[in-house]
Amino acid sequence: MQHCCPPDGREVDRAGEAVLFKALSDPHRLAIVAMLSAAADEICVCNFTSELPLNQPTVSHHLRILREAALVTCERRGTWVYYRLSSDAGARIASAVSSILSEAIAA
Amino acid sequence: MQHCCPPDGREVDRAGEAVLFKALSDPHRLAIVAMLSAAADEICVCNFTSELPLNQPTVSHHLRILREAALVTCERRGTWVYYRLSSDAGARIASAVSSILSEAIAA
DNA sequence: CGCTAATATCGACCTATGTCGATGCAGCAT
DNA sequence: ATGCTGCATCGACATAGGTCGATATTAGCG
């Protein structure tokens, strides 16, 4: 039986990158990240709750996913909790993309 | 009632970017994209089927999702179907990332 | 100490998704 | 035509994920 093209076996685990992209695969989480990036500063949870068409538990849920993906960090100050983009968020995303596309995107 | 930080309302639809990231949120699909990118050429479906720990229908399912995200294109040649990365795949991913992070990543 | 406010967690619900076996379909060969 | 091969689609299943109401937790206040 003939073949179509020469195979080349590599067994790489893309789970890490997948978790990153999965964290970015929801429109509301993207909105959160975009707000944080645009603000270039920390944002209080109550701001997300008031600006997103979601109830407070749902906002908290999305923030947790972003937290567990290490894309954001939070800090409690008094009654409020403030979130900010992780300092290496952009670098980790760019690294994941270039790891998949095997091309250097970040400078 | 006092407030924590000044709000700024924007109602942007991140659904398009979310679809892109969702297509990239599975390890096996990442493996497919990585194989295609590394090959820098078209790859026959039978190659994915033989190199991934998935059955043929599952491979077909993942290829369809990548197709619908316009990340790959396919072309039937005889009995075999060959997939390749869309020419603008990298650009669209980079554009989605920078759209969210409001920073220029691509050169 | 109670009371209120801001977040997080829990439980339930429904939908989406990854996976596979079975089947369908297109293309080649005999 | 018959059969075979590569791939897509379908149906079913189990699990994951988004959403919300209810409840818990933490912090400030009187």
- What is the C-alpha separation between B49 and B12, in angstroms, rounded? 39
Asked if B21's CB is within 8 angstroms of A21's CB, the reply is yes
Identity of the amino acid at B102:
S
Q: Which of A68-82, B9-23, B25-39, B84-98 has the lowest mean pLDDT?
A: B9-23
Q: State the pLDDT at residue B12.
A: 73
- pLDDT score of B59 more than 60: yes
Instruction: Read off the tokens for A85.
Output: 């983009």
Domain with residues A15-101, CATH architecture: Orthogonal Bundle (1.10)
Q: For residue B103, is pLDDT > 80?
A: no
- For tokens 């033989």, the residue is B50
For the cut 50, the answer to whether the pLDDT of residue A107 exceeds it is no
For residue B81, the 8-state DSSP code is E
Confidence band, pLDDT 50/70/90 cuts, at residue A61: very high
Is A8's pLDDT higher than 50? no
- Interior angle at CA A105, CA A104 and CA A106, nearest 5: 100
Does A3 have pLDDT greater than 90? no
Chain A's closest residue to B100, CA to CA, is A34
Is the pLDDT assigned to residue B7 strictly greater than 80? no
Mean pLDDT score across all residues of chain B: 89
* B31 close to B47: Cβ distance less than 8 angstroms: no
pLDDT score for A5? 54
pLDDT at B48 over 60: yes
Number of neighbours of residue B104 by Cβ within 10 angstroms: 9
**For residue B1, is pLDDT > 80?**
no
pLDDT score at B104: 45
Closest-CA residue of A relative to B78 is: A4
pLDDT in tens, A10-39: 557 889 999 999 999 999 999 999 999 999
Whole-number pLDDT of residue A12: 73
What is this model's ipTM? 0.88
**Could you tell me if residue A102 is left (phi over 0), alpha (psi between -120 and 50 degrees) or otherwise beta?**
left
Q: Which pLDDT score is estimated for A1?
A: 44
> Which contacts (CB < 8 Å, 24+ apart) does range A31-35 have?
A31/B12, A31/B14, A32/A62, A32/A63, A32/A66, A32/A72, A32/A83, A33/A66, A33/A71, A33/A72, A33/A85, A33/A89, A33/B100, A33/B101, A34/B12, A34/B14, A34/B99, A34/B100, A34/B101, A34/B102, A35/B10
Strand segments (E) across chain A = 43-44, 72-77, 80-85
Domain boundaries, chain A: 15-101
* Chain B contact for A97 (CB, 8 A cutoff): yes
The pLDDT of residue B105 is: 44
Q: CB-based contact (8 Å) between B31 and chain A?
A: yes
